[in-house]
Structure 1
Amino acid sequence: MSAELTLGHPAVSQTDLIIAGLVLKIHGLEEIKDSGRPLIVLIATHGRKNKMQSMAPFAQGILGEIASHSDRKKDLIVVTLDQRNHGDRIKDRKANLSFDENPRHLVDMAATTTGGYHDVKLIIDFLAPYLFPSGEKVIEEFVAAGISLGGYVTWLTLRDEPRVTTGINIVGLPFESLHRVLGPRAESFGLQFQPPTYPTTVKPILEPAVDLSSYKGKRILTMHGKDDPLVPFARGKEDIERIKQSVEGEGGDGKVEVWLQDDTGHTCTVEMVKKTADWILICALSDHTSGHKSNL
């Protein structure tokens, strides 16, 4: 990932941690060890064919932006990990490829996204007892953010994990939109979007009856490149609009903000990193109240 995503901020500490075999990098832990502020944890997940270390510039940029706000009420650390079958966890390189080289691409994407969500849950369950076994610090809230494949993981986490109420998606879409992205992609390679490309047994996973109330109270920033050819915003627009209506409708106290960047494809940009930091500052690091107003 591009070094420009550091936003020119200095390097931050990286602490290794292993939870039941899951290797993590904790960014920014040393910098806040003597602070008395409450702690927020951002779990940041990378895209397909990337790895944990590729998220280091992203984490550095976020933490640098946050550190520049000395009036913040809480501290932040960033946790990164290799997604399943990525980085040091890779077992099958073909499984990470698209339909032109991997006709099982849809199933692999669905399984990797679901596995990523379970990894996030594991981190939420066990990060505190591993990092702070004597209660040295209390983790007040977990925030999820992800790029591309990590964006799908973030959306799935926001839908199914009630402990995560703040999330940032970058060039991904809701998990329930995945088949709408991969159907046209399969057909562009001459495949029919039916078994075995789209097995009937995976259809209930990708096209469930979604209870939109599960998004209630969530504070979601979703960012997309207007010219994204790989994961076009249009493929998930209807799902995002339904989620937004549910979150912000009568009695709703959450927020869904959609931002599309001009002249941008399938990439995480400097502007997206800045907006991610702003969203975290507003929604998780301040004494926010329901119905907060974003200045993005």
Structure 2
Amino acid sequence: MATPNPLADSSSDPTPVSSKTYTIAGVHTTVYGLDELASAAKEVAVLWLLHPRLQVQSIMAPIAAASIHDWNGRSASKSKGLIAVSFDQRNHGTREVNPLANESWKKNNPTHAQDMFSIFHGTAQDTSMLIDFLSSYVFPDSSHTITKHLVLGISLGGHSTWQCIIHDPRITTAVVVIGCPDYKFLMADRAKKSKLSTWTSSEGKDFLGSTDYPKGLCDATDKWDPKAFLVGDKLQPTEDQKKTLRPLLKEKLGGKHIMCLSGGKDKLVPYTCSAPFLDWLKTGVDKESGWFNDQGIVLEDIVDETAGHEYSAKMKVEAVRFISENLAGEGSLKAGTRTSKI
């Protein structure tokens, strides 16, 4: 299947904001909105922007502008500022080493599963590393203090965003756009559609652990992928399993806010691949009957029924709302879930 550019429609792009590029740990890192910061805004939040596969960091500039404009239009921005940061994912843009490694099985890349997971996992690690050093570059005089980290990722960046929110305690808010928290399910679905022999020979039963999804990749997935790491095969955990899971969920998701934006007609990253994990999570944090609903977790699961593999106009509105509400600590951001179709 072809890989569309989820950001191809630029008809509604907002007026750009200021940007400045730093080289941090050898990574070209673009920071948006520094010139727009209010001088009295001593506290600053950072919105990390992770781009789609086959794209580059500059494509995220309109997303930075939309969120910064919306937040700066609120009175609270006078005391709490917002900047955004983008950088090229591994093997993309200025960091590209092997173009084939960014392609799919159908585009003749035999190690598509390994390449994609290692690239977006590496990007999650890069995000954590850049968090360590960002303030020393952008605020060397300590004129502002970074107090909050949010991340928004699209497609490949959405997969990475799931790892960021799960594994870095400093990242407390995530907007996952057409990304998937269950890599094994996603790749099995793609292997079936690609008619790989490792899938067709056993109707998928032997795909995991095959040459197209080797055991080493299974091990890495189990360590880092949200569904494999948190749930495994325990979609309906016993009471004893719940006792084991509660401390882990508190550590990894306690107090965190997540928005998932999916396309109802997305064939590349189908919502059906995310649904089992999201349903498990929603059941657990349900205000009335959830078995870990006391951890302050917010989950908004929104499907644009008319959208394919794209960051649609409706999704953009929801993402900007969620980010600003999160910064302000207002609106719908109360522990629990919200599921809707738009």
* 44 and 271 in structure 1: CA distance in 2 versus 1, 3 angstrom threshold: same
> How well do the aligned residues superpose, as a CA RMSD in angstroms?
2.2
- Alignment check: 8 A CA contact 2:178 2:309 kept: yes
Contact residue 67 and residue 323 of structure 2 kept, 8 A: no
Cα deviation, residue 247, structure 1: 4.3
| Residue number in structure 2 paired with 1:97 | 103
Alignment of 1:44-193 (within 5 A): 44-72=49-77, 74-100=80-106, 101-174=108-181, 177-191=182-196, 192=198, 193=207
Separation in 2 of the partners of 1:62 and 1:275?
11
Would the aligned equivalents of 2:68 and 2:83 in 1 still touch at CA under 8 Å? yes
TM-score using structure 1 length: 0.92
2:253 to 203, 206, 215: 215
| Structure number with bigger Rg | 2
Equivalent residues of 1:282, 1:294 under 8 A apart:
no
Is the Cα contact below 8 Å between 1:215 and 1:247 reproduced in 2?
A: no
Cα deviation, 1:208-254, whole Å, max 9, x if unaligned, reads 44244422221101000101000011111111122334445331212
Change over 3 Å in CA distance of 1:127–1:287 after alignment to 2: farther
Question: Which runs of 4 or more aligned residues in structure 1 lie more than 4 Å from their structure 2 counterparts after TM superposition?
Answer: 287-290, 292-296
**Separation (CA, whole Å) in 2 of partners of 1:292 and 1:240:** 15
Gaps of 5+ in 1: none
State the distance in 2 between where 1:60 and 1:3 align: 13
What is the one-letter code of the residue matched to 1:32? L
Query: Equivalent residue of 1:49, what SS?
Result: coil
Unaligned 5+ residue runs, structure 2? 1-6, 199-206, 223-227, 231-247, 287-291
Give the letter aligned to residue 187 of structure 2: L
2:307 alignment partner AA = T
Give the number of the structure with larger relative contact order, counting CA–CA contacts within 8 Å between residues 6 or more apart: 1
Answer whether contact 1:212 1:246 (CA < 8 A) is retained: no
Residue 27 of structure 1: aligned partner? 32
| Residues paired across the two proteins, number | 292
Alpha-carbon deviation of 1:62?
1.8
Counterpart of 1:206 in structure 2 is 221
Return the alpha-carbon distance in structure 2 between the equivalents of residues 276 and 188 of structure 1.
30
Q: Distance in 2 between matches of 1:286 and 1:74?
A: 12
- Residue 274 of structure 2 corresponds to which residue in structure 1? 236
Q: In the alignment, does 2:206 pair up with 1:195? A: no
